[in-house]
Amino acid sequence: MSLLRQFRRHQLPDMNAYRRFIVAGQHVGWVKPDLARRLLEWPDRFISNDGALALHPRLATAPLRSEAMAETLSALRASGLVPGWRNELYPVNTQFNAPPLLVMERAAVPLFGVLAYGVNLNGFVGRGWGMKVWVARRAATKSVDPNMLDHIVGGGQPIGLTPMENLIKECDEEAGIPAALAGEAVSVGIVTLIFEAVQGLRIDMQFNFDLELPADFTPQNRDGEVAGFELVPVSELIHRLRSEDDFMYDSAIVQVDFLIRHGFIGPEDPDFLSLVAGLRPPLPYDPVQVAA
């Protein structure tokens, strides 16, 4: 079966079903009309602006905006509207390296359709068709996608760390990969994901890294978020991705990117061009945030 199966698990969302979310004149997100109506009950924090929802322009600095957002989310959480609270602050930016326009609780990011960043590690042993790829089975207690297959290491990108620093931290917590080994991981590019999840609208840019692990290395989870690890021959990985939906969605897409970059899926696959195109759909922000 075609690897497009993985992409078809989520259609690209219909952005007409959302209202733009504007901060400091910048289009940074998307909110459902229902949520927009609720937010407009705080007229000192949110205004309606030409069809869009905007953070009130009187909130002119990042600390003021972040405080107003925190108070808002606290109230929404009390109403049960922000499930899976993390106590983790995410930056809202128009560019990855720019100072944030505000920071907000990670669990609310999909409710506001804000771009989130993450890191993934493709950890493998061997080369060519003899390659095996380490995959993780997510713990039954995870709030998102319990029991599903996942990358050996992956995580959201918090404030204050570079992607590489974050990767090294996650390598330690999730798989017991020592910093000296994790530091040999190679940045290999970006995959973009746009999909509607139970948490809301996920718009992600994931920084991906490859790491060839020693044959005698065995990952050890340290944070309780992984039920176990498995070393999967690459041909079996491809077979699973073609026939099953047992990988969590974003991990499956990042696996496809890995398989393409390493030549396991190439021009001989009739869907090759569609697969490649699916790895980086254009970001739905206006004006385009990431342009050459």
Question: In a 3-state reduction of DSSP, which class is residue 166?
Answer: helix
8 A C-beta contact, residue 28 and residue 116? no
Q: How many helices (H) and strands (E) in the chain? A: 8, 13
- Asked if 62 is part of the footprint of a copy of itself (rule: CB under 8 A), the reply reads no
- Quote the least distance from Cβ 61 to a copy of itself, whole Å: 23
Stretch that binds a copy of itself, among 13-21, 137-145, 213-221, 268-276 (CB under 8 A): 268-276
- How many residues form the binding site for a copy of itself (CB under 8 A)? 39
Give the span between the Cα atoms of 206 and 191, in whole angstroms: 5
Minimal distance, residue 132 CB to a copy of itself, in Å: 17
User: What is the DSSP pairing of strand 149-151 with strand 153-156?
Assistant: unpaired
Which stretch in 26-34, 223-231, 238-246, 274-282 sits in contact with a copy of itself by CB under 8 A?
274-282
**Contact pattern from residue 91 through residue 120 relative to a copy of itself, giving x for each residue in contact according to CB under 8 A and a dash for the rest:** ----xxx-----------------------
Q: 76 to each of 15, 18, 82, how far by Cα in Å? A: 23, 19, 6
With a CB cutoff of 8 Å and minimum separation 6, the contacts of 104 are 66, 69, 70, 73, 89, 90, 92, 112, 114
Does 132 participate in binding a copy of itself (rule CB under 8 A)?
Answer: no
Q: Work out how close the CB of 274 gets to a copy of itself at its nearest, in angstroms, rounded to a whole number.
A: 5
Q: Among 29, 91, 163, 200, which residue interacts with a copy of itself (rule: CB under 8 A)? A: 163
When binding is defined by CB under 8 A, the residue of 24, 76, 81, 290 that contacts a copy of itself is: 290
**3-class DSSP string for 32-86:** CHHHHHHHCCCCCCEEEECCEEEECCCCCCHHHHHHHHHHHHHHHHHCCCCCCCC
- Candidate residues 88, 159, 270, 286; the one interacting with a copy of itself per rule CB under 8 A: 270
Question: For the window 5-34, what string marks contact with a copy of itself as x by the rule CB under 8 A?
Answer: --xx---x----------------------
For the segment 171-190, give every residue that binds a copy of itself (CB under 8 A): 186-190
CB atoms within 10 A of CB 209: 23
CA-atom Rg of the chain in angstroms: 20
Are 57 and 137 contacting, i.e. CB atoms less than 8 angstroms apart? no
Binding site for a copy of itself (CB under 8 A): 4, 7-8, 12, 95-97, 162-164, 186-190, 205, 207, 209, 260-263, 266-268, 270, 272-278, 280-282, 290-292
